[in-house]
Amino acid sequence: MVLGASLLFAEVAQAQPATPAPENGTFEVEQVFAGTCGFCHSDGGRAAGKGPQLMNSPRDDEFIRNRIKQGKQGAMPAFDGAFTDAQIDQIVKYIRALKPREG
């Protein structure tokens, strides 16, 4: 049982490698989120998956910013260095703007 849990945490921690946006290119936050974060945060962050739902998160912006940068051992990889501070701010803004899908 412990081995199975360890393997699950190892899988989650290695989820998706960060794909930084080109320095001269545009940072399409929704596309970056889908390709990098969407593996664990389902429906663009609107639903829980392997990671928690981000829409309507009770966590403050600084907590979310730090979690993106530093990750959480066994649960989320760190993305510091993969994204600039400005890009991380755009990701936090994207998370804060999430609304349920219409339809």
| pLDDT tens by residue, 2-45 | 444 434 444 444 444 455 545 556 889 999 999 999 999 999 99
Percent of the chain's residues with pLDDT above 70: 75
Give the helix/strand (H/E) hosting 32.
helix 29-32
Cβ-based neighbours of 30, under 8 Å, separated by 6 or more: 44, 94
Judge residue 45's burial from the number of C-beta atoms within 10 Å of its C-beta, 0-12 exposed, 13-18 middle, 19 or more buried: buried
CA dihedral 69, 70, 76, 78 (to 10 degrees): 60
pLDDT of residue 33: 95
**Confidence at residue 39, expressed as pLDDT on a 0 to 100 scale:** 93
Rounded Cα gap, residues 16 and 88, in angstroms: 17
* Residue 101: band (very low, low, confident or very high) from pLDDT cuts 50, 70, 90: confident
- How many whole angstroms separate alpha carbon 26 and alpha carbon 33? 14
pLDDT at 54 over 80: yes
- Confidence band, pLDDT 50/70/90 cuts, at residue 51: very high
The residue type of 51 is G
State how far the Cα of 35 lies from the Cα of 76, in Å rounded to an integer. Answer: 15
